[in-house]
């Protein structure tokens, strides 16, 4: 019998590529099939987004109710990332953390070592990534597992010499391109007192703080689409 890891039950729909919060090391067979080394990512059915209300760009209305449904363990599950990246019938939930220090916003250039090749060389203001089974450690589910993923992603990508409380300020959806069609962003605003921030990863190159007005002006066209939505939103609030 395989050694138990992180979850309790399996759902081998899609020929073993969709997994509920459950499984054993038998799933190594699935991992070997994926160009993402079998990474499992948290997804929701697009049908759930349609029930909540499909939108384009930033959504702040009804945020608490929408998050309640998205983060309900009954409504999401883990799926092989290789399959998820090519399946617009599901949306991968992505924490997208924007760091603000006074009137300046942290940004970076996406390096080639990043997991999403379609965004390489784009300027981004969002730090974060996928929710993975490791985030369910200690029996965490739903919002607890999601927030564990947020903390893990920040710690993996940045060195912060200060406390960094954050709050969810919006949902983010962009079905105008192939990347956006399979992802749904949850936007966090992180307020910093100091600009002492260092990147831990090559994927976050040329880390810098720039005034919001410049990102909303001469730098705007260099931003990836999600960052454009976030900058426009912050500039208007």
* Tokens encoding 152: 């893990």
Q: Residue for token digits 């309790």?
A: 8
The phi-psi region of residue 142 (left if phi > 0; otherwise alpha if psi is between -120 and 50; otherwise beta) is: left
> Whole domain around residue 31: which residue ranges?
4-236
Report the alpha-carbon distance of residue 198 to residue 132 in Å, rounded.
Answer: 24
Q: What is the pLDDT along the chain (237 residues), one digit of tens a residue?
A: 333 333 333 343 333 344 444 443 444 444 445 578 999 999 999 999 999 999 999 999 999 999 999 999 999 999 999 999 999 999 999 999 999 999 999 999 987 544 544 545 789 999 999 999 999 999 999 999 999 999 999 999 999 988 898 999 999 999 999 999 999 999 999 999 999 999 998 889 999 999 999 999 999 999 999 999 999 999 999
In 3-state terms, what secondary structure has residue 62?
A: coil
Q: Residue for token digits 């903390």?
A: 151
Based on the structure, what is the number of domains in the chain? 1
Report the alpha-carbon distance of residue 20 to residue 8 in Å, rounded.
Answer: 8
Backbone angles phi, psi at 152, to 5 degrees: -60, -45
Backbone angles phi, psi at 132, to 5 degrees: -120, 165
Q: What is the pLDDT of residue 135?
A: 98
Q: What is the pLDDT of residue 34?
A: 52
Question: The pTM is what?
Answer: 0.83
The CATH number linked to 188 is 3.90.79.10
């Amino acid at each position: 019998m395989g050694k138990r890891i992180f979850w309790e039950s399996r759902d081998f729909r899609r020929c073993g590529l969709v997994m509920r919060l459950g499984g054993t090391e038998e799933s190594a067979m699935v991992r070997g099939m994926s160009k993402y080394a079998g990474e499992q990512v948290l997804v929701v059915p697009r049908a759930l987004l349609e029930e909540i209300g499909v939108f384009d760009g930033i959504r702040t209305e009804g945020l608490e109710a929408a998050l309640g449904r998205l983060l309900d363990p009954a409504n999401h599950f883990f799926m092989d990332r290789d399959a998820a990246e090519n399946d617009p019938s599901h949306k991968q939930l992505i924490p997208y953390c924007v760091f603000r220090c006074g009137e300046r916003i942290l940004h970076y250039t996406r390096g080639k070592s990043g997991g999403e090749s379609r965004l390489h060389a784009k300027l981004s203001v969002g730090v974060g990534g996928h929710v993975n089974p490791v985030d369910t450690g200690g029996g965490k589910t739903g919002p607890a597992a999601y927030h564990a993923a947020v903390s893990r992603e920040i710690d993996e990508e940045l060195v912060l010499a200060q406390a960094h409380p954050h709050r969810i300020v919006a949902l983010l959806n962009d079905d105008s391109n192939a990347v956006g069609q399979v992802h749904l962003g949850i936007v966090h605003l992180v307020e910093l007192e100091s600009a002492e921030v260092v990147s831990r990863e090559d994927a976050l190159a040329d880390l810098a703080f720039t005034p919001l007005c410049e990102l909303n002006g001469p730098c705007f066209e260099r931003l990836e689409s999600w960052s454009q939505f976030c900058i426009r939103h912050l500039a208007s609030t």
